[in-house]
Amino acid sequence: MAKIFQLNKNIKFNVETNILINLKGIEVSLENLESKVLQLFSESFGKVVSKDELSQCWVTADHTSDSSITRVISNLRAKLSQLDNSDELLIKNIRKKGYMLSHNINSGSRSELTLTSQYNNEQNTVEFIHSHAPTKSLFNRLPTIYFSSLMLLVLTIYGFSSLSNISKPPYTQFEKPYRLFEDKIRKFELAPSDNGNYIIYSGQHMDSKYWLLGVFDNQTKKLHIIERAETDLTTPTWVSENMLAMRIKNDSSCWVELITITDLINNAQGQRISTCYQQSPLFSMTKISNTELLIADSPAISKGSHLTRLNIFSGTTKLINIANNGGAGVYKVIATPDMNYLAMLTTHDWLNTQLDIVAIDDINTVLWSKHLSFPLFFAAFFDDKISYKGNDGSIMTHYFDASFTVTDTESIPVFMPFDNVTRFADDIIFTKGELYSQNIFLYDFDSQRSIAISSERSERNYMPYRYSEDEVWYISNKTGISQLWSYQLSNKTSRQLSFFTQQTEIKALDVSSDGKLVLLGTNSGIQIFSYEKKQIKELLLSLNGFYPIFHQGKIIFTKIENETYELFSYNLKTQETKKLTSYGGYRAKTDGESIYFDKYNSPGIWQLTNEVEVLSLNLSAFPKRWLVESGQLYIFNQNTVTKFNTITQNSEVLPKNSCQQARQINWNSCLNVMNDNVANQIVILPR
């Protein structure tokens, strides 16, 4: 008889087949090692399993690293969450002791155990247990993550997905997190006052391009919306209990304004204390003394930023000399509460981030730094610790001694999009969800019907790929990290194909003709994975480049050579790399034996056949997007789609239909990605 564990009311684990299955019949395969570890947890339910005990699951038990154990635990958590995200089943990290499986209802005694995390739908709250360090509670030790978009703690609020908790004995019961208020505004920067009386955010109405300020009075529980006609109000920064500075920009000018909270709520005007760059891509302010703000500002996205000390009373400024080394340089500054140290976010390509800590009086000497392989816009800096979104999509917290040597590190896994984690006294405040939703629809030409491949709110579902006539692949960040998913058209079910543990921006997706290799273009380069048993498996190869596609046993990709974008090929059999273009080549697409591409600095579509470049379609302007299928070029502009026959040279403007946002055309259908503005929500996690 097969050995089967009923892990909870939704999931069964078949030890012999290494299969997890839920009530809907969705199956997830486990690796042999993952199955061994889960069996050990199941047989030791409710008991701590030490790392030494876990290492016995490895053949090389004496040489098993902590990172190997952590990786398997992370994979198991992700696969269990794929089948049931209710948090009724948790693999908990017991600090300095090991791990423990809880919430199993396989037997009567197990079902009596209380849940560590449980959603209470009627009260709109989440009950959970967190642990604390010997002298401090966990939430005393979690600072803020401050500034933008792509990224929660153990909770589910009105449909929020839940987040695994970091458990440390002894356990401490915390109050329930709660949504602060409901509105229909897209929220960006959060700026709670130190005394907790007000929470200010910059945001946008769904149908407006201008930024406003929302002021939530935490005493009266009243929300005030502050707007000025055709003007952006951003970057609220407290300078005292009753006064703040903000950046104001309209079509003709940009300035920093000092205003009391009373005048702000009453829509009065404040005092202009400085000017700013009108075209600055990002603008940041932080208080560095009782009389000064530090401002990061840049004249353009391609120009290095300037750091300036601004006296908030006299308006005098002093430029700070700092090395930028090209790119945007420093675009975000956050001071500690005691105003002695500064965290700086720096980028040179908008794909990676450098997080540096410096002393405010010695800004060019880096005391601690961290490289992140994605654009980070927020970080939280306390006097003795810093929190930020890590490469694995979790909230990372590092604790420092007086010399900024790391004394402890905590990681809280995150399983849904979130942003703007900010210190709110000793509590945490953040926004749940993206600033807009992206969803995928398949439009069938014959039936003229649209089918929703995804329909989530506040998540990004993008990069659709028609794997077969019955299966659509796509990228989604619904679990907090961008993963590859599959949607079966016949039975209308989705399943997760990848279980990546590192945060990355996926910009291209293709599959080999035999279906055994998956090609991803990411912000860190090109990655080729094996695909078997309906899962992305081993990373086989990495290449330097972007916009990759498969073509006749080769990988065609874009690469910069001598400051020019060119096309190259990589032969999977001979491992030979060859340059294909000599006068510029950018995004390549294939159709039969031909390769089509555009150029970065010259509008038009070119065709590459037998290593000969031919201009297929001359364009007067760069298209918004273009596709090629069966000898037909589809050119997408703002309001029109033009079809051009590469053989007959005939063209026609297509009538407006449900393919205006197409990303792929085949099988007599198109796959569209539709954007929808949504209101992300502010959530408070009290101590």
Q: Are residues 580 and 567 in contact, defined by beta-carbon separation less than 8 angstroms? A: yes
Q: Where are the alpha helices (DSSP H) in 212-336?
A: 261-265
d(CA 320, CA 327): 18
Q: What strands lie across the sheet with 353-359, from one edge to the other? A: 329-335, 341-347, 353-359, 362-372
The count of C-alpha atoms lying within 13 angstroms of the C-alpha of 527, restricted to the half-sphere facing its C-beta, is: 17
CATH superfamily of 436-677: TolB, C-terminal domain (2.120.10.30)
Q: Where are the beta strands (DSSP E) in 46-132?
A: 90-94, 98-102, 117-120, 125-131
3-state secondary structure of 313: coil
Identify whether 143 is preceded by a cis peptide bond (ω within 30 of 0): no
d(CA 115, CA 92): 12
Crossing angle of helices 32-43 and 66-83, rounded to 10°: 80
From residue 290, alpha-carbon distances to 194, 239, 350 in Å are 14, 7, 33
Query: In sequence order, which residues have a C-beta less than 8 Å from that of residue 64 and are 6 or more positions away?
Result: 54, 55, 58
The domain defined by 128-433 carries CATH number 2.120.10.30: yes
128-433 and 436-677: identical CATH topology: yes
Q: What's phi and psi for 89, nearest 5 deg?
A: -130, 120
323-377 pLDDT, tens digit each = 654 445 888 999 999 999 999 998 877 778 899 999 999 988 999 999 888 888 8
Q: Are residues 565 and 546 in contact, defined by beta-carbon separation less than 8 angstroms? A: no
3-state secondary structure of 67: helix
Q: Pick the closest to residue 28 from 38, 482, 164, 3 (CA basis).
A: 38
Fill in the DSSP letter of residue 66: H
- Given a cut of 70, the residues of the chain with pLDDT beneath it are 1-2, 59-67, 85-89, 95, 103-182, 301-303, 323-328, 414, 685-687
Tokens (6 digits) for 501 = 């543990």
Kindly report the number of other CB atoms within 10 A of residue 122's CB atom: 5
Kindly report the number of other CB atoms within 10 A of residue 159's CB atom: 11
Q: Pick the closest to residue 438 from 677, 239, 221, 108 (CA basis).
A: 677
The domain defined by 4-115 carries CATH number 1.10.10.10: yes
d(CA 585, CA 237): 45
3-state secondary structure of 70: helix
620-659 pLDDT, tens digit each = 888 888 999 988 999 998 778 899 998 888 988 887 777 8
d(CA 141, CA 427): 10
User: Which amino acid, one-letter code, is at 577?
Assistant: T
Buried b (16+ CB within 10 A) or exposed e, 525-557: ebbbbebeeebbeeeeeebebbbbbbbeebbbb
Tokens (6 digits) for 345 = 């976010």
C-alpha triplet 218, 161, 99: angle, nearest 5°:
110
d(CA 389, CA 418): 10
Q: Pick the closest to residue 45 from 97, 110, 108, 111 (CA basis).
A: 110
From residue 110, alpha-carbon distances to 12, 106, 129 in Å are 15, 6, 18
- Per-domain residue ranges for the chain? 4-115, 128-433, 436-677
- pLDDT at residue number 170: 28
